[in-house]
């Protein structure tokens, strides 16, 4: 797309390769091409990290410098004023906690309910299994945005608006999660449960001490995606909560933009953004391989 | 979300094997089967209850609502297809649908091209620091669209932002993109591309790993240049990945909301209103819940259509492979 969209020439490695056809090239051309590739990657890396850096630096900059022209990338001094300003505008600690509880409880419940359902679909040969699975697949395509109105009405009728129940229960299980786990459970060797069954293990025991321990990568992947997805979700908490004391952080941040005093309080917004992304960035850096393999996994099924 | 057809077919061989158990008589078979069904039901029940209550039932309720003038207050009356007629004739709504299509038409090809470009660069084994680059490029995946939108709104702010400032230094005058009816939609699209292209990169990387190396070696022996190898080996090798990725990108594009809510609120002059943005404003700000439901069903129909296309292409591919 941009500069060097060279197709992958893995063949240009020093492997035993006939010396003709200068594609692998002399040492000089190879070094040249390599630096071209590195330059391209640097452009991509700069593109993705630059806005993140701006958020981090902006969060610690004095408000006057954030709102000055010409803008400066590096602040003259570091300050925590923006965080004070943030705390004055939204209940930041409470909303962070709300995010943690919301994303955490959805994830925990999805782990339990989805894996139970996936186990039945993958490991129990009951009649109608294919029918159930087909119906679930059809449902998987329904975007939740299309169901917001009736779901809101139901949640409202149950008196769950502005409660954790309203945020969590409609998302306590989901077809995409069941599908992901089912596809993984099905690849585990049959002998695993046969052996346990011969030892007299019941269904729950096979599920709990045979399948689950062997499915840790898939479970972790699903958990990470659910946690990140819900922590970052905007539309859902925007609709299910109106009281800022029960709002998760992502929806809370949206209120900062609506200050309508002319100039947007960017310093405060950057501080809020930093609080919102920090836990996930740390999580990502700790277990990034799981994230990346998880994405590759979902892509491969296509 | 993904395919789908692989499911039942994939499972078949094991079923035929019957698990190796050979029951002695038919009564025993029936009992065992009943007990298996019972156990399976118990395992499925909690998740299925949630899905029925919060997907299945709402889908039916939304359909019914879409034929009414429901406002969320008082009695709703049946108005037949009026809401659907409005969806396709009201200029503002038609504009929102057109905006969404335009958004998808920009987002889909670009996010795929950028993602593929990054994947091709990163797939080379002679590149130093691959892990580092991959980590950084994939980073926006964990950053919410809301935060990405705040950051980009700041960067592009004509009075404060670094990008207009730097471009000004190069002699390029940049106005307020979010106040321009021409540039606001491309701008909100660009933020989505920024946030998501790393995701597509990772999917393409997985696809690229699946292309056998000897194909490249053979192409080199045949004297194929880089572009030729890309056209003749890489692209065909990525066909399965491409089908998935294209539909996935377009379905995602039809759900655009967050960055519009944060950056433009649908403006200027409705230039960035999308289908989901209208579902939100009609349903939850203006309380036209019947109308919002009709719009929801339009979204649902588009999504299911795209899903079906994916399913068909997917099964055709499987058939071709056999």
Would you say residue A111 has pLDDT above 80? yes
CA separation (Å) from B320 to B2, B207, B317? Answer: 19, 19, 5
Q: Determine the residue among B16, B40, B131 to mutate to test chain A binding: the one whose Cβ has the most chain A Cβ atoms within 10 Å.
A: B40
My answer on whether omega of the bond before A216 falls inside 30° of 0, hence cis, is: no
Maximum Cα–Cα distance across chain B = 88
**Residue B184: which of B110, B266, B108, B112 has the closest Cα?**
B266
Q: Based on the number of CB atoms within 10 Å of its own CB, is B156 exposed (0-12), middle (13-18) or buried (19 or more)? A: buried
ipTM of the complex: 0.85
> Options 3.40.50.300, 1.10.3720.10, 1.10.10.10, 3.40.1130.10; which CATH number does B91-321 get?
1.10.3720.10
pLDDT at B6: 38
Instruction: Report H helices in chain A.
Output: 27-59, 63-66, 81-89, 92-123, 129-140, 148-157, 164-168, 175-185, 190-198, 203-206, 212-214, 216-232, 235-240, 249-257, 266-286, 288-300
Q: How many CB atoms lie within 10 A of CB A159?
A: 10
- Which pLDDT band holds residue B103 (cuts at 50, 70, 90)? very high
Beta bridge partners of B68: B78
pLDDT at B322: 53
Would you say residue B9 has pLDDT above 60? no
Would you say residue B24 has pLDDT above 70? no
Q: Do A145 and B255 touch (CB under 8 A)?
A: yes
pLDDT above 70 covers a percentage of chain B that reads 90
Average pLDDT, chain B: 86
Would you say residue B77 has pLDDT above 60? yes
| Domain extents in chain B | 6-65, 91-321
Q: Do A145 and B140 touch (CB under 8 A)?
A: no
Angle formed at CA A98 by CA A95 and CA A99, multiple of 5 degrees: 90
| Cα Rg, chain B, nearest whole Å | 25
Tell me which of A288 and A240 has the higher pLDDT.
A240
Give the residue on A whose Cα is nearest the Cα of B6: A301
Q: Determine the residue among A82, A147, A160, A241 to mutate to test chain B binding: the one whose Cβ has the most chain B Cβ atoms within 10 Å.
A: A147
Are A281 and B142 within 8 A, CB to CB?
yes
Would you say residue A13 has pLDDT above 60? no
Residue A48 has its nearest CB partner, among B39, B136, B307, at B136
pLDDT at B22: 54
CA separation (Å) from B289 to A147, B35, B90? Answer: 11, 45, 16
With beta carbons under 8 A apart, name residues in chain A contacting B162.
Answer: 54, 71, 73
Report d(CA A98, CA A253) in Å as an integer.
13
User: In this predicted model, what pLDDT tens digit does every residue of A214-261 receive, in sequence order?
Assistant: 999 899 999 999 999 999 999 999 999 988 899 999 999 887 875 445
pLDDT at B16: 44
Give the residue on B whose Cα is nearest the Cα of A167: B54
Would you say residue B56 has pLDDT above 70? yes
Lowest mean pLDDT among A130-139, A231-240, B14-23, B51-60: B14-23
The C-alpha torsion from B207 through B211 and B217 to B218, rounded to 10°, is: -130
Would you say residue B283 has pLDDT above 50? yes
Q: What is the DSSP letter of B233?
A: I
pLDDT at B101: 95
- Which pLDDT band holds residue A1 (cuts at 50, 70, 90)? very low
Stretch B182-208: mean pLDDT, rounded?
93
Would you say residue A263 has pLDDT above 80? no
With beta carbons under 8 A apart, name residues in chain A contacting B123.
Answer: 8, 10
Q: Do B57 and A228 touch (CB under 8 A)?
A: no
- Which pLDDT band holds residue B265 (cuts at 50, 70, 90)? confident
Q: Which fold has domain A91-300?
A: MetI-like fold (1.10.3720)
Coil, strand, or helix at residue B109?
helix
- Which pLDDT band holds residue B321 (cuts at 50, 70, 90)? low
Q: Does B2 touch chain A (CB under 8 A)?
A: yes
Give the residue on B whose Cα is nearest the Cα of A126: B37
- Which pLDDT band holds residue A198 (cuts at 50, 70, 90)? confident
**Residue B196: which of B150, B155, B248, B243 has the closest Cα?**
B248
Q: How many CB pairs under 8 A join A and B?
A: 387
pLDDT at A258: 57
């Amino acid at each position: 797309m941009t500069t060097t969209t060279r197709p992958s020439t893995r063949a240009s490695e020093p492997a035993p390769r006939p010396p003709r056809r200068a594609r692998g090239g002399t040492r000089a051309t190879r070094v040249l091409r390599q630096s071209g590739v590195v330059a391209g990657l640097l452009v991509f890396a700069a593109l993705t990290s630059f806005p993140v850096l701006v958020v981090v630096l902006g969060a610690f900059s004095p408000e006057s410098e954030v709102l000055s022209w010409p803008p400066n990338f590096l602040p003259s001094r570091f300050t925590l004023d923006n965080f004070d300003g943030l705390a004055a505008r939204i209940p930041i600690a409470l909303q962070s906690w709300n995010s943690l509880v919301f994303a955490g409880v959805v994830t925990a419940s999805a782990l339990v309910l989805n894996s139970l359902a996936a186990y039945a679909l993958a490991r129990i040969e009951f009649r109608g299994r294919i029918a159930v699975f087909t119906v679930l697949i059809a449902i998987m395509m329904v975007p939740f945005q299309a169901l917001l109105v009736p779901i809101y009405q139901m949640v409202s009728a149950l008196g769950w608006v502005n409660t954790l129940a309203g945020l969590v229960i409609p998302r306590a299980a989901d077809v995409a999660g069941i599908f992901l786990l089912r596809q993984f459970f099905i690849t585990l060797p049959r002998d695993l449960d046969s052996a346990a069954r011969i030892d007299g293990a019941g269904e729950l025991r096979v599920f709990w001490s045979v399948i689950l321990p062997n499915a840790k990568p898939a479970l972790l992947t699903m958990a990470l995606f659910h946690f990140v997805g819900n922590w970052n979700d905007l539309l859902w908490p925007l609709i299910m909560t109106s009281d800022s004391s029960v709002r998760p952080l992502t929806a809370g941040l949206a209120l900062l933009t609506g200050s309508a005093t002319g100039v947007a309080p960017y310093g405060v917004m950057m501080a809020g953004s930093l609080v919102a992304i920090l836990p996930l960035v740390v999580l990502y850096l700790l277990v990034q391989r799981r994230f990346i393999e998880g994405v590759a996994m979902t892509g491969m099924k296509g | 979300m993904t395919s789908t057809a692989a499911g039942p077919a994939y499972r078949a061989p094991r079923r035929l094997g019957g698990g190796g158990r050979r029951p002695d008589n038919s009564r025993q078979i029936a009992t065992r089967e009943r007990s298996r069904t019972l156990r399976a039901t118990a395992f499925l029940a909690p998740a299925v209850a949630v899905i029925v209550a919060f997907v299945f039932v709402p889908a039916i309720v939304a359909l019914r609502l879409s034929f009414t003038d429901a406002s969320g207050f008082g009695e709703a009356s049946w108005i037949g297809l009026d809401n659907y007629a409005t969806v396709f004739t009201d200029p503002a709504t038609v504009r929102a649908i057109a905006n969404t299509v335009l958004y998808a038409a920009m987002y889909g090809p670009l996010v795929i091209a950028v993602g593929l470009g990054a994947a091709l660069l990163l797939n080379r084994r002679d590149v130093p620091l691959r892990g580092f680059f991959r980590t950084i490029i994939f980073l926006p995946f964990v950053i919410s669209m809301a935060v990405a939108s705040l950051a980009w709104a700041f960067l592009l702010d004509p009075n404060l932002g670094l990008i207009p400032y730097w471009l000004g230094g190069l002699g390029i005058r940049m106005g307020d993109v979010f106040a321009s009816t021409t540039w606001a939609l491309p701008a909100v699209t660009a933020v989505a591309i920024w946030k998501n292209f790393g995701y597509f990169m990772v999917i393409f990387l997985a696809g690229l790993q699946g292309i056998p190396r000897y194909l490249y070696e053979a192409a080199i022996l045949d004297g194929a240049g880089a572009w030729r190898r890309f056209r003749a080996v890489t692209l065909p090798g990525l066909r399965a990945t491409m089908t998935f990725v294209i539909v996935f990108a377009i379905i995602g594009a039809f759900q655009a909301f967050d960055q519009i809510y944060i950056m433009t609120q649908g403006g200027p002059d409705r230039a960035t209103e999308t289908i989901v943005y209208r579902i939100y404003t009609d349903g939850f700000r203006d309380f036209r819940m019947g109308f919002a439901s009709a719009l929801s069903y339009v979204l649902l129909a588009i999504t299911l259509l795209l899903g079906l296309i994916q399913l068909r292409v997917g099964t055709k591919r499987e058939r071709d492979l056999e």
